[in-house]
Amino acid sequence: MGLGVPELIVIFVIALIFFGPKKLPELGKSLGKGIAEFKKASNELRNTLEEEVRLDDQKQKTPPAPPRIAASPETIHSGARDVIDVASPPAPTTGEPVARGEHGS
């Protein structure tokens, strides 16, 4: 579907007849700049679309964050006390058995 050599020659001859030999270099320069601008704009658009698709795919792959559970200060202090109680060493013993009457039972 591209242009072959015969087609390009026909286009060049028509442009030469229509614009004349003095305007043809100026026209070619303008046409080249226009094509370069078009390519640049289309590349930027393609890159932007690819970036948007990539970000959308990442959002779909990432699971939603679990809901945050807020704890009251009392719950936090209670949990800290439990940890301290578990981490505290047992009271030292003398090695003597305790009599039943001393416990109050």
d(CA 10, CA 12): 5
Distance CA 4, CA 100 (A): 112
If residue 42 lies in a helix (H) or strand (E), which one and from where to where?
helix 24-61
pLDDT along the chain (105 residues), means of 10: 82 86 86 93 96 89 74 64 62 64 52
Is pTM beyond 0.85? Reply is: no
Task: Give the integer Cα–Cα distance in Å for 85 and 89.
Answer: 9
Tokens of 18: 């229509």
- Rounded to whole angstroms, the Cα distance separating 53 from 26 reads 41
